[in-house]
Structure 1
Amino acid sequence: MHTGAQFDLAAAARQAVIEQGFEPDFPAEVKAEVEQILSRPMPLNPRAEDLRGLLWSSIDNDTSRDLDQIEYADTLPDGRTRVRIGIADVDAYAPKGSAIDSYAQQETATLYTGVKNFPMLPEELSTGLTSLLEGEDRLCMVTEFVLDANVCRTESCIAESRIYPAIVRNKAQLAYPAVGAWLAGRGEAPEKVAASAELQEQLRLQDGIAQRLRAERVKHGALNIDLAETQSTIKGDEIHLGSELRNPATELIEDFMIAANGVVARTLAAHRIASIRRVVRVPKRWDRIVALAAEYGTELPADPDPISLNEFLCARKEADPDRFPDLSLAIVKLLGPGEYVLERSGGEPVGHFGLAVEDYTHSTAPNRRYADLITQRLLKAMIAGAPSPYTDEELSAIAANCTVKAAAERKLERAMQKRMAAVALSNRIGQHFHAIVTGVNEHGTFVRTLTPRVDGMLVQGKSGLDVGDKIDVKLVHTDAAHGFIDFARA
């Protein structure tokens, strides 16, 4: 669908960023620091291990340049498998107290609007010196863990782990769609993969390890969620209303990152270092989840139970895989958003209901999320035997700001997706769509159409509806300037 000249989406994105409390422009002092950084050679870390000879690879979105992590796996002589995950050493270029750090602390994350990205860090770093780009020597922090050879232990199949600095070189920058299709047997190997038998073996080993990690989490109640995320994009002068489905490549990276974040959380706890945790609390709307399951003939316990919920989700995925993303969306909405919290030294972890883990932090995306940069500094201080660079009060304030800004970030992304969809659907007034109810609150009743996947408000016929209900709707109005897409119940 052509964007047309009647509405400036780029200008709308910038205005929306400001309205949500973000600052879209880097201050002069940040630009000055960048100039100084560019004039200096790469910092040296005497503790860094030289791992440039390993066959590191990255898998990310097709267009991503801010690469936070690379992966490598191997089999040890005793039959156990080892995973190394290299995380970009952002702190080496943006230390605590710098102007770059102050701006990142204020913004807390890179903003993706579908029209334009507003990076947390200057692009000279996030898509340059601190991005793990193919063929470039880069500093990173490695999270390494070894899996038991055969039988997983009670809590985890990770037998041992360590975290250390290294210098690395990404040998293959790959993308989710092509690698995912190849791993699933639905497509040819991407060019770089086809050209290297060693890389093929490496990716298949990683995939096998990821499946084992996933099975272990599922055994402990991790939820089988399969969201078809709305991902409208602009290519040239056309808006593409699309959705992004999970595939073996996205699951591989997700499983590795969850495992790495768990290792980091347990390591910090073992050293009695206070940290920022990412948690999803026990859902407040469990009663509605129980009611949804009952509509499918499944009785869930009266009290929240992730294992029972996951058994229900797995059964529904097998029974109706085409509609499973719609059920997943309803469950995710009812679980509620995650939040950042301080975990004090020796404190009791809150846990992550959806992942069925008690030890979870954010550590794997310091180019894009400020909480991950904080975690990186805590780890570096731990390795150096130095005191924590943050007090509990500082960590608590940072966690609270990250939670507030994450909510604003979600609103921003939803608003821009709606603006893009409003432009693209402006000539489809009166058409009918299948939809699912995604929200019911004091502000109104909200729905998502299934083809294409577009979020909007139900302005007529909303009585008696709740999250997860499936209905037919008619498009009655669009307003790109305000991001309004209004439906009536058909």
Structure 2
Amino acid sequence: MARQKTKKTTNDLPSREAILKFIAENPGATGKREIARAFNITGDQRIGLKKLLRELSDTGLVERRGKRLDRPGVLPNVTVLYLSGTSSDGELIGEPTEWDEAEHGAAPKVIVQTDRRGRGRGRPGPAPGVGDRVLARISEASDDDAQQTARIIKVIEKKPARILGVLYDTGRGGRLAPIDKKQRELTLEPDDMGDAQDGELVEVEVKRTGRYGPAKAKVVSRIGSMESERAISMIAIYAHGIPHEFPKAVLKAADKAQPVTSLDGREDWRELPLVTIDPADAKDHDDAVHAEPDTDPDNEGGFIATVAIADVAHYVRAGSPIDIEAEKRGNSVYFPDFVVPMLPEQLSTDLCSLREGEDRPAMAVRMVFDRTGRKKSHSFHRVMMRSAAKLSYQEAQAAIDGHPSDKSGPLLDTVLRPLWDGYACLMKGRDAREPLDLDLPERKILLKPDGTVDRVITPDRLDAHKLIEEFMIQANVCAAETCQKADLDILYRVHDSPSQEKLAALRDFLTTVDMKFPKVGNLRPAQFNGILRKVAGTENDHLVNEVVLRSQAQAEYTPQNIGHFGLNLRRYAHFTSPIRRYADLVVHRALIRAGRLGSDGLADEDMGRLQELGGELSAAERRAMAAERETVDRLIAHWLVDHVGATFNGRIVGVTRAGLFVALDDSGADGFIPISTIGADYFHFDESARSLVGSRTRVRYRLGDRVEVRLVEAAPIAGALRFELLGEGRYQGGKSRPPKKGAPPRKKPASGKKQTAGKGRRKARAS
């Protein structure tokens, strides 16, 4: 008699605690399939597992990141740590270099495991020490209550032999106050100060570090006045450990590079009138575009769009000194007055730049779209091109708007109008795809000749900007599709959908402005766009855009393709900026291999380390964004030092238990208002409504509210501003009423903590 099968029930499923422990022990590589395999879940049990995982997600115990699951607020599987000290047992302690304290609280401390020689386990190279930055793989200790641990993948940056700080003349020598507060103060002999002046930012070399007394140092370079842009940018460069000086071997290799003159292995596209359209002050030009109607009778109304990108892979060979340095930098870093480039200037602004009227090697993609903007086909080519013109966004837009210049005029009918017609075709496809459409203008600092701030503006967003953006997006999609079709591992540019925890917070907030966000199984950007359209032009417009932005995940590089939620694309990879992003160079090499376009394609050993590389490049990107943002904050704080006591109009851009963050209308500068200084009442934090509410008066200050403030303090080195609130907030209603005019203020409970100047932080999200 056959043995009857026993039907499995949900009682056979692992406990919630067991699943959470498994996710914790396998960060970054956990999905429903992996969990089912680990707990031997088959058949009907999968339905129960799916329900259990949904419950864990809905309650905020785990976050969904595409097909992966992770705990909310945890460190990425591969991240950059700053080795800040040692434990009582002598173990190295690491802290993440990029961490959002406003969202996740204090940064976690991580025990960094090393071998007996002090190196990362199984890793050759220099031993890590306090002050170093390391790329590490995060894991968990076996005990539930134990601290997070990490194993070093490699040392990214050793503790600098040189230190940046402000020099003070003591009359008998000098005293250096390091910018990095973790470093000790240094002293300088009179002969070691050179020509440096009191109060200047200088770079010093440590001469001696004794056991007792301050270390001795010698000035090796003068950065200049603390009010200059260059000095303030250098603070961010040192604070984030951004490599900014090229090794001699790299510069020597760049000087030996020669222009490509042969067509060997390349198609001749020099007669195609490709043009570059960039910011007016751009020094490197890595992309050129062209469009024309498709003459194929089977594609009536369609267009052929071409994007040509500088062939950086020809000049930067894998494993060369230039390549090793480019990978270390990860990307170029852009400050208001100068750039820390990923590649030496000999390449970035010359040989790899698509200069007007000069022959340049390029990787080009030819894309065919039908009349609805749907891509029908594409092909990649290794070519020799010659840019027909270098145009700025404003110059190209002015020509289309009826004001051509001497340069753009001859190109108007033959090049520019077909480009705009092609853009109109592509926009039909974009509108049908409906990516996330946030409206949050970016500020730009204009400087005086001496490097100090002149004014802060919000540049107009032109159709010329949108045209180049859409052409680049389509080229990036083609790159990802080609590599995937060739079954090649590459670095995808992925953007996960928002976590259930953030969606729940967004829904709670929207109820405070009488709006709803539907609960649906298949989340799409269009649902956010519907909300944004409803508030467009209303008093809640800016507020809702800010909150929707904060609900989004951060884009990153990884070989695991989970798609790009914000752009609503299934496949996406960065291909269009290899001069300034190393990830794009990796994709170029993959395309060369996929199309058999040369011997300098992506090697097997490079594909084997893409997971590690993706984590490293994502961290470098976050580092650059933080440095750029902090430099702007410091410049504006310097600019406003002479305006302490002045009043400004602004908008509340952040609400916390500690107080309010306010951004000023005219400059975008943001600062902090301590809760202890607000009104004549005791205010409590309403998290769901993003507001502070007076317990007695019921007066409310909410995210997005317009306010008038007085500047009380400007701290330039910290880039921090502190404001005083003027006027009253809105009356929320309830049993209590606003106090009558002249009523004595109500004393607030003592917080026990001193309030100091702080600064707000907008989460920069790059696509």
**Gapped regions of structure 2 (runs ≥ 5):** 1-223, 692-701, 727-767
- Shift in Å, 1:374: 0.7
- C-alpha distance 388-36 of structure 1, shift in aligned 2 (>3 A): closer
Instruction: Report what 1:102 is aligned to.
Output: 324
Tell me, yes or no, if structure 1 residue 389 matches structure 2 residue 608: no
- Shift in Å, 1:57: 0.8
TM-score by length of 2: 0.57
Counterpart CA distance in 2 for 1:296 and 1:229 is 25
- C-alpha distance 443-394 of structure 1, shift in aligned 2 (>3 A): farther
**Which of 172, 175, 189 is the equivalent residue of 2:389?**
172
Counterpart CA distance in 2 for 1:413 and 1:209 is 34
Counterpart CA distance in 2 for 1:294 and 1:413 is 35
- Shift in Å, 1:109: 0.8
SS at match of 2:482: helix
- C-alpha distance 19-5 of structure 1, shift in aligned 2 (>3 A): closer
Instruction: Report what 1:17 is aligned to.
Output: 237
- Shift in Å, 1:209: 2.5
Q: How does 1:157-236 map to 2 (within 5 A)?
A: 157-183=374-400, 185=401, 188-194=403-409, 196=410, 198-236=411-449
Counterpart CA distance in 2 for 1:354 and 1:87 is 24
Instruction: Report what 1:87 is aligned to.
Output: 309
Counterpart CA distance in 2 for 1:301 and 1:171 is 50
- Shift in Å, 1:72: 0.7
> Could you tell me which amino acid in structure 2 is paired with residue 301 of structure 1?
P
Tell me, yes or no, if structure 1 residue 314 matches structure 2 residue 533: yes
Counterpart CA distance in 2 for 1:487 and 1:214 is 44
TM-score by length of 1: 0.88
- C-alpha distance 309-166 of structure 1, shift in aligned 2 (>3 A): same
Q: How does 1:331-480 map to 2 (within 5 A)?
A: 331-343=548-560, 349-384=561-596, 388-390=602-604, 391-439=606-654, 446-460=661-675, 461=678, 463-464=685-686, 465=690, 468-472=703-707, 473-480=709-716
- Shift in Å, 1:174: 0.9
- Shift in Å, 1:250: 0.6
SS at match of 1:244: coil
- C-alpha distance 446-131 of structure 1, shift in aligned 2 (>3 A): farther
> Could you tell me which amino acid in structure 2 is paired with residue 263 of structure 1?
C
What CA RMSD, in Å, does the superposition of the two structures yield over aligned residues? 2.7
- Shift in Å, 1:70: 0.3
- Does structure 2 retain, via aligned residues, the 8 Å contact 1:230–1:454? no
- Does structure 1 retain, via aligned residues, the 8 Å contact 2:440–2:542? yes
> Could you tell me which amino acid in structure 2 is paired with residue 337 of structure 1?
Q
- Does structure 2 retain, via aligned residues, the 8 Å contact 1:223–1:313? no
- Shift in Å, 1:433: 3.5
- Does structure 2 retain, via aligned residues, the 8 Å contact 1:57–1:70? yes
Provide Cα deviations, 1:4-43, integer angstroms capped at 9, x if missing partner: 9552431231231122121110001101101211xx3426
- Does structure 1 retain, via aligned residues, the 8 Å contact 2:372–2:428? no
**Gapped regions of structure 1 (runs ≥ 5):** 344-348
- Shift in Å, 1:281: 1.1
Counterpart CA distance in 2 for 1:275 and 1:331 is 30
Q: Which has the larger radius of gyration?
A: 2
Counterpart CA distance in 2 for 1:408 and 1:102 is 19
Single out whichever of 428-437 and 272-281 deviates more from structure 2: 428-437
**Which of 282, 294, 303 is the equivalent residue of 1:76?**
294
**Which of 61, 65, 76 is the equivalent residue of 2:279?**
61
Counterpart CA distance in 2 for 1:342 and 1:442 is 39
- Does structure 2 retain, via aligned residues, the 8 Å contact 1:43–1:92? no
- C-alpha distance 135-452 of structure 1, shift in aligned 2 (>3 A): same
- Shift in Å, 1:245: 3.5
Instruction: Report what 2:469 is aligned to.
Output: 254
- C-alpha distance 480-205 of structure 1, shift in aligned 2 (>3 A): same
Counterpart CA distance in 2 for 1:231 and 1:359 is 32
Instruction: Report what 1:49 is aligned to.
Output: 267
Instruction: Report what 1:346 is aligned to.
Output: none
- C-alpha distance 246-124 of structure 1, shift in aligned 2 (>3 A): same
Bigger relative CO (Cα 8 Å, ≥ 6 apart):
1
Single out whichever of 226-235 and 68-77 deviates more from structure 2: 226-235
- C-alpha distance 50-266 of structure 1, shift in aligned 2 (>3 A): same
- Shift in Å, 1:249: 0.6
Counterpart CA distance in 2 for 1:47 and 1:67 is 23
Tell me, yes or no, if structure 1 residue 111 matches structure 2 residue 333: yes
SS at match of 1:426: helix
- Does structure 1 retain, via aligned residues, the 8 Å contact 2:655–2:703? no
- Shift in Å, 1:325: 5.9
- C-alpha distance 331-133 of structure 1, shift in aligned 2 (>3 A): farther
SS at match of 1:457: strand
- C-alpha distance 158-11 of structure 1, shift in aligned 2 (>3 A): same
Query: Quick one: percent identity of the two aligned structures?
Result: 26
Counterpart CA distance in 2 for 1:424 and 1:55 is 45
- C-alpha distance 295-46 of structure 1, shift in aligned 2 (>3 A): farther
- Shift in Å, 1:340: 1.1
Counterpart CA distance in 2 for 1:55 and 1:222 is 31
Tell me, yes or no, if structure 1 residue 482 matches structure 2 residue 702: no
- C-alpha distance 468-141 of structure 1, shift in aligned 2 (>3 A): farther
> Could you tell me which amino acid in structure 1 is paired with residue 425 of structure 2?
R
